[in-house]
A = this chain, B = another copy of it.
Amino acid sequence: MITIEDFANVELKTGRVLEAQRVEKAKKLIVLKVDTGEERQIVAGIGKAYAPEELIGKTIVVVTNMQPAKLMGVESHGMLLAASDDEGNLSIITPEREIKQGSKVN
């Protein structure tokens, strides 16, 4: 169990996908340029479920205060949220209504 204070340490924001392309030699990985109020690059393991081009222009939800990491040599400054079930389906998470990029999610 976590407290509301624990959860408040996680910074979640909406982000608009500006660019997306596959990471070389990594079928599962897509590198995204995202506007979450500021531009950032993130790497997401959604390449089996999504083609890069269908992500462009979409609004996603990003953990924006995650420690930077390198995936297959590519820097990631945040984590995209996606839902996945035990049958291998995967879906990005998106606001139901139009809302500004960089909006806080909580």
Chain A 86-101: CB-based contact to B (< 8 A → 1; otherwise 0): 0101111111111110
Q: Is the CB of A6 within 8 A of B7?
A: no
Q: What B residues does A99 contact at CB under 8 A? A: 83-85, 89-91
Question: How many residues of chain A get a CB closer than 8 Å to chain B's CBs?
Answer: 41
- List residues of chain A with CB under 8 Å of any chain B CB: 1-4, 6-7, 9-10, 12, 14, 58, 61, 63, 65-67, 69, 79, 81-85, 87, 89-100, 102-106
4 nearest CB pairs, A to B: A91-B97, A91-B95, A85-B103, A83-B103
How far, in whole Å, are A92 and B59 apart by their CA atoms in the complex?
13
The chain B residue sitting closest to A66, CB to CB, is: B2
